[in-house]
Structure formats: structure tokens, C-alpha cells
Amino acid sequence: MTQAFLSIRKLHKAFGAFTAVHDVTLDIPKGEFLTFLGPSGSGKSTTLYAIAGFQDPTSGDVLLQDKSLLSVPSHKRNIGMVFQRYTLFPHLSVAENVAFPLRVRRRPEAEVKRKVADMLSLVRLENFAERLPAALSGGQQQRVALARALAYDPPILLMDEPLSALDKKLREEIQAEIRRIHRETGVTILYVTHDQEEALHLSDRIALFRDGRIEQIGTGEDLYLRPATDFVAGFIGNSNFLAAEHLETVDGAATVRLADGSLVSGINANGSFQRGQKTRLMIRPEAFRLDQGSNGAKLAVEIVDVAFYGERRRIVARTGAGQEIDIRPTSTALAAQDVASSHRPVFFDPGAAFLFPA
Amino acid sequence: MSVEAQQGIATPRIPAGLGGLLPALTLIGLFFVVPVLALLLRSVTDPSPGLQNYAALLGDGTYARVFFNTFLVAAVVTIVTVLVAFPVAWMLAIMPAALASILFGIIILSMWTNLLTRTYAWMVLLQRTGVINRALIGAGIIDQPLPLINNLTGVTIGMVYIMLPFMILPLVGTLRAIDPMTLRAAALCGASPLAAFRRILLPLSLPGIAAGGLMVFVMSLGYFVTPALLGGTSNMMLAEMIAQMIQSLLNWGLGSAAAFILLVVTMALYALQLRLVGSKRAAGGA
């Protein structure tokens, strides 16, 4: 507990009758890149704002190196932040924007100059020092905001959906910049986004928020390969949910009966289920194969549509029970005309399928 | 680009426009240009040709004091108006739009209320036996009534009240364009509320303060009713002096000269503001 750098303790925030954050507890080690992922209204931004000092939590605490931050006003928290919209100071040049936190700290002029030069080279905007923010593109403005937030070497950098106002190409470019800057500075980053790809790409760990609670926290692989709940499975990556009746579970491996009557065993059971209980079987689209392999479970489907997506094919298929599922085998697995044959079995590894309560 | 666009629109319009503009030009010439020229002519011909009216106004200590007093009152009123209007404008800029529009309505309603009524109301409030003095004495805060009327205090209170909407309206426009998140960003950068105000909010609101301030200052320079009713004889303003010169002394020449000086000063201030704001705009667009 005590080795945690930043610690969120039972943080609770209510707006009137609406509870935005329910007793969130979280420990963040120094240097970690942690992403708060979740749909809008899930409490991720509210948690971030409590750390920034923009919103006082109803109860709970935020500790930085074992000292509570709550009684410290925003301007004394020494936290860096990059916002969703560009919040550069429009009347100050790029260099003066980056210098601003140093000037309000009354640092000597020589240090300000050196630090501004360092920061502008960190975000690769050395040649834009004298421009006003209005003369920069959105991506450039967000890089200046990043330089400004890092200029005073804050122990923590908060980023509130910093890329959501940018187009896709710029987003990917700045994501790479953020990764590089995290690597080079070692700053602890708390990053808020609703974009799961962005979260998977950037983070060391992801805290997935739902209705003000953390549904699951772990690495991207944990969340993708070992989802704790059907919400996690549905939010991270793509997933198919098939209705299934639970028959028995032995050593965490469940056997179920699908709606078309076929039996599948060796499934990961998340939780304990009764015999005959209605459940949902989650299978990733890319976990389906077109050849049986060594231990593939079989599912009879009717092919509805086949589309070519480069490295993968995207197949829409209908199960015997009439449910449409999404299948994405690698393109090289079979030729298009073979795939398109109307009725055929598809296969999946039961070890890559998960059982959740219905 | 804008030059091209302007030319593209302007070129076909000029020939047709000249004829069409004639009624407007006649109106402006007849009712605005001619009277100003007549005023100028009068000031250098009445009672006899020469600059003696200007010499009298600028050379005489009494007149000089009136000029000084006029600028003093206008300056004090402008400064106090800015100080009172800023927090109000900021509140209007950040509050929910529905509530703000109600408050705007109230402010504009006061603008539409008769000026004389509002000034007499202040007389009732400010005089020796007025509401304010009685309340303060009744509460035991003061023994003697405060001199709130027939002096600079009275003029300032009355005029600030009348000028406030002219300051608040342009200022709200400027403040609304400022993203409140910018101030949060400044706070996290380490700026105390005071530093954020001084380094961010104030510089960003300067165009609004300049526009409103100039309007208030210029209007105050030529104001007549409020200074006449709430001011004292020792701090007469230019408009009252002009009224006296023309009504009581029937000295049209001197009155015209005084009015013309006021006009020139006002135009000079306007030109100055255009230059300041113009250069700011240019810097902002670079």
C-alpha cells in the first residue's frame, strides 16, 4: 500500500441524487501510464477532476506519496494537465505559453529560457516558438499544451481525452508522441479516453469504468484475453455473445448447450453457475477458424456476407438459432469462393471463449 | 484574399451605388456635416472673426478648471464603471444562458427608463436627509449625514449607474469568448487566482474594457443632466458651461468654440482607440 505513488481511496462523488463515482480505490505506481477507459458518464473524468482539484469529492481521499491532496488548491498541486479542447493562452506566443508555469513560479529567466527550449524540442516545435496558438494546427496546439504541462516537471500528468478533437491520422501521430514522451520523461500519466483502441495502444494498465465503478483494472491483455465481466468483454475489442445453457463446471471448465442443441465443453467459466442456468457465451470474432484444427469446437452456421478487409476477412454468419455473428478469420485461411458456400461449420477454441451470466 | 473579395463585390456596385447613395449623403450632409461646419464657423466669427473665443477658453483659469473637471469626472466615472462592471459581466458570461438573459433584460430595462427619473431617484437617495444618510444614522454608523450630493461623489454615483450597461454589454461579449477551461489550465499551471486574473483574464478582456471604456468616457465628457442635478457648482462640467454660455450669456461664439473643442477631443480619443485596437488585431492575426 505505502509504495503506491498516487493513491485514490474510496473516492465518492455525488451530484445531488446522481452518484458519479462510487467508492473508487486505486493505487498507481510511479512512472505508470494508466488509462481510465469507459463510456461517457462512467465517472472517469470526474475521478480525474478530483485529482486535479476541480471537483471536491463527496468522500474519500487522494494521496500523493502518502499526503492528501484534497486540502491543496489546484494551483498548488503541482500537477500537469492536458485538456480535451486546446486551452492554450491565446494572447501568448507558443514559447510564452510553455514559459507560463515557470513564470508564475518566479523561476530565473535563464532557467525559463533553457526549459522552454528543452520542452519545445521534446514536442518538436522548436521552429514555432514565436507563433501565436491561433496560427497552429490542432495537433500542434495539443503538443504545445503537452509541453506546457510538462515544463515544471510535475510528478503526475493528467490527460482528459486530449486527442478527441483531432482527426484519425493526427491522433495516431500524437499517440506515438505521447508514448515517446512517456518513455523519455518517465512521468506518471493518468489518461482518460472512451476509445478502447487508444487505451490499448498507450497504456501500461487500463481501469475500465462503468457507472462510477471500476469494472476491471489490468493490462490491455488482461482485459482483452481475460475479461472479468461481459461488460469488459463487450467494451474491449469485438465480441459475439451466444445464448447458452450451463450444464456443469469442472475445475473452471464449463460445458454448455447452445441454442441449436450442440454441446461445447472446456469453456472458461467466469463465476459459478447452476445446472440449467441461462448464460452467455462470449467468443471473439478473430477466435473463429474455418478449419477444425486440433481441439476446435464446432458451430454450424449459414454464411450471410463475406468482405475482404486486408489481413482479415469479415464474415457475417447466422447460427442455427437465427443469431447473426461476426467472424474474422485471417484472409489466407481459405479462398473467398470457398468461404462463400452457404452452409458450413466454423470452429473456435473453447479455451478462448468465456461464459458469463445472462 | 479579403482584398480580392472586397474588390469583387465592390466593383460592380460603385456606378450604381453613387446615385443610390445620394439621398443618404444629402441627409448626412444636411443634418450632420453642415451643423458641425456652422458650429466651427460661429466659433471663429462670433462676435468678430478670429480665434479670440479659443484664446479665451484655453487661456482663462476658470474655463481651464471646467475642462480639467470634465476630464476628471469622465476619468473617475470610467474607472469606477470598469471596476463595477467587470465582476457583473464575468458573472453574466459564465452563468447559465437562461438566467443571464433575464439579468440582461433587467439591465436593458433600466437603460430604457427615463434618464431624468433615474437621476431624480438618486437625488432622493443621496441628499442630506435622503434614504442612505437616514439609514446610516439610524443604524448608528454615522452621526452627521455624509456629503453624497452636489459634489464629485454624487456625480460619480449617478453617472456610473447610467453608464454601467454601456460597459457591461461589450465586456460580456469579450468575456464570453474566453474559454473558462483556460483559467483551469492556468490554475493547474500554478497560477493563483490573482495571477490567473492578472496574466490571463485581464489581458484577454482588454479589448472589451477598451471598447466599453472609450464609450463611457466619451459619453461622460459631454454629459449634462446628471452632473447638473447631482454635481455642485464647484465642479461644473463642460456641457453645463456650454448651456450657461448659450442660455444665460447668449454667447454663441464661446459656446460653439467649447463644443468644438469637445468634439475634437472626442474624435482624437476615438482615433487613438482605433489605432490601439487595430494594431492588436493585426498582431493577433499574424
Which chain B residue shows the shortest CA-CA distance from A104?
A: B191
Minimal C-alpha gap between A80 and chain B (Å): 6
Give percent above pLDDT 90 in chain A.
Answer: 51
Minimal C-alpha gap between A275 and chain B (Å): 55
Is the pLDDT score of A187 beyond 70? yes
> Length of chain B, please?
286
Confirm or reject contact between B182 and chain A (CB < 8 A).
yes
Chain A environment of B175 (Cβ under 8 Å): none
Residue B127: helix, strand or coil by DSSP? coil
Cell numbers describing residue A147: 509541453
**Domains of chain B, each with CATH number or no CATH:** 61-285 (1.10.3720.10)
Residues 6+ apart with CB under 8 A from B243: B224, B228
Per-residue pLDDT tens digits for B95-125: 998 999 999 999 988 888 898 999 999 999 9
Instruction: Return the pLDDT at A352.
Output: 85
Per-residue pLDDT tens digits for B217-272: 999 998 998 998 998 888 889 999 999 899 998 899 999 999 999 999 889 988 88
Chain A environment of B190 (Cβ under 8 Å): 75-76, 78, 101, 104-105, 152
Is the pLDDT score of A52 beyond 50? yes
Q: What is the dihedral of CA B17, B22, B26, B27, to 10 degrees?
A: -60
Sign of CA dihedral A65, A67, A72, A76: negative
More confident residue, B1 or A81: A81
Per-residue pLDDT tens digits for A322-354: 888 898 887 676 666 666 667 888 888 888 888
- pTM exceeding the 0.90 threshold for the entire prediction: no
Confirm or reject contact between B167 and chain A (CB < 8 A).
no
Burial class (CB in 10 A: 0-12, 13-18, 19+), B74: buried
DSSP A276-314: T-EEEEEE-GGGEESS-TTT-EEEEEEEEEEEEETTEEE
- The sheet carrying A67-68 orders its strands as A18-28, A6-15, A59-64, A67-68
- At B171, which helix (H) or strand (E)? helix B152-176
Strand A18-28 versus strand A6-15 pairing type: antiparallel
Say if the Cβ atoms of A90 and B204 lie within 8 Å: yes
pLDDT mean across residues, chain B: 87
Phi, psi angles (nearest 5°) of residue A321: -85, 0
Identity of the amino acid at A219 = T
Is the pLDDT score of B5 beyond 50? no
